[in-house]
Amino acid sequence: MSTTCWGSHVHAADGRKPVALLARAGAARDRLREALDAAGALVVLEEDPAAIDAATLAAAAPQAALVALEPAVEDALVALEPALEAPGLLVIFDEADLAARRDGWEAQRWIRHLAAKLHGHADVLPPGCEQDMLIDLQPGHPATPQQLHAEAPFETHLVEAVALAAELPQDRPGEPLPELATSTSTGHDWELTHGAHAAAGRTAPESKPLPDFSRLELVAIAEESADAVVRGAVLVIAGIGGPDAVRKLMTALPSGFSRPLLVQLKLDGGRYDNLVKQLARVSALPVAMAMPGDAIAAGTVYVLPERVGVEAKEDGMVFIDGGGEPVAALPPAESAVIVLSGAEPSRIDAVLALATRGGHVAGQALEGCYDATAVKLMAAGGAELGTPAQLAEQLGARWP
């Protein structure tokens, strides 16, 4: 065994995060080592997973482990699980084949994402990009008019209006009305009179006191139109390798896209609030966190955390606590499911079943797909595949 291990005591001097690089020797490992160096990490262990045991990995005391996935190391990773599942250890997986081919702009982008994961921040933009003007969208409905004017009650304006009413111009008794053309008879018990007619004996009515406005209150002008009720949604399912595909899909969606977009992306650590901020940077549509009890609004992107489900009601769709498989809750004729890299293969049966009931389903093209297991099942079931941009174009054409 020729293990390259420097020991955990080295990182204390410069503050860099100690990382174990688990990959077979070759181009993939070389690229991943370069990425770790660029991301500000300290490699304390660099070895083929099949050449070490769990005790060796634990002895290196890494705070994170970067693993290059390929079929040849699958059994070795199972043997290393006791160390990889240690509390507080951040484990990041990358495809060995993809890592070996990644270069140029794509390599720089991946380094930024790697650094964000290692150091626990959400800054993945290239140097020089301003972030001060980013909008930090918060979950929930916008404030109602009543909430916005809670500190300025309507009664104050009513009191002011009554106080000023006496100073406003008024008709004076006995003064002729302005010169107006006589109206034709309409069968009503009133008519506009000519000035001379009024001077002959008709006078303007006396001013009446102002009505009592103290009981007025703000009410909705009209009920929500039937067209505004959400009858369906687009569910996007993704996993490992999926964040980049989700961003590309959302970037290509038109700003006037009418359906709500539900993004279900399983994240280690459950930092869905960070995902909301990241998606808001690239989306032309508003982005919010799905919260149980909230109604689903049209033309909005929702990040769907674990244990938040969907329910279709007569007056629209809402988020619920739990609820099982969201695919099964979608109204088929008005909904779609997009399967991207890393989606769970066990969910594809439900997705294809939605297609048999009239739903629109599609998957990410195999080329450039990080984890294509579920996508291949989609293709085997007859679903159409496409790049994230092509999938967005299909959705835009279906629901302009």
Q: What is the pLDDT of residues 192-228, one digit of tens each?
A: 444 444 444 455 555 566 666 666 666 544 444 445 6
The answer to whether the beta carbons of residues 5 and 56 sit under 8 Å apart is yes
Q: For the chain, how many structural domains are there in total?
A: 2
266 within domain boundaries: yes
- Higher-confidence residue: 56 or 170? 56
pLDDT for 397 beyond 70: yes
pLDDT single digits (tens) 14-43: 678 899 999 999 999 999 999 999 988 999
pLDDT, residue 110, reads 83
Question: Exposed, middle or buried, 250 (CB in 10 Å: 0-12/13-18/19+)?
Answer: buried
Please tell me the number of Cα atoms within 13 Å of 10 on its side-chain side.
Answer: 12
164 within domain boundaries: no
Domain boundary among 119, 147, 165: 119
pLDDT single digits (tens) 322-363: 878 899 999 999 999 999 999 999 999 999 999 999 999 999
What is the SS3 assignment for 70?
A: coil
Q: Give the other-Cβ count within 10 Å of 122's Cβ.
A: 14
Domain boundary among 119, 142, 164: 119
95 within domain boundaries: yes
pTM of the model: 0.47
User: Averaged over 362-371, what is the pLDDT?
Assistant: 89
pLDDT single digits (tens) 83-119: 998 888 988 888 888 888 888 888 888 888 888 888 8
Closest CA to 369 of 390, 350, 344, 388: 388
> What is the domain extent for residue 250?
230-398
pLDDT for 191 beyond 50: no
CATH of the domain at 315: 3.40.50.180
With the C-alpha atoms ordered 15, 17, 20, 23, is the resulting torsion angle positive or negative? Answer: negative
143 within domain boundaries: no
The answer to whether the beta carbons of residues 148 and 154 sit under 8 Å apart is no
Q: What is the distance between the alpha carbons of residues 248 and 237, in angstroms, rounded to a whole number?
A: 14
Q: Write down the mean pLDDT value for the chain.
A: 79
282 within domain boundaries: yes
Domain boundary among 72, 98, 119: 119
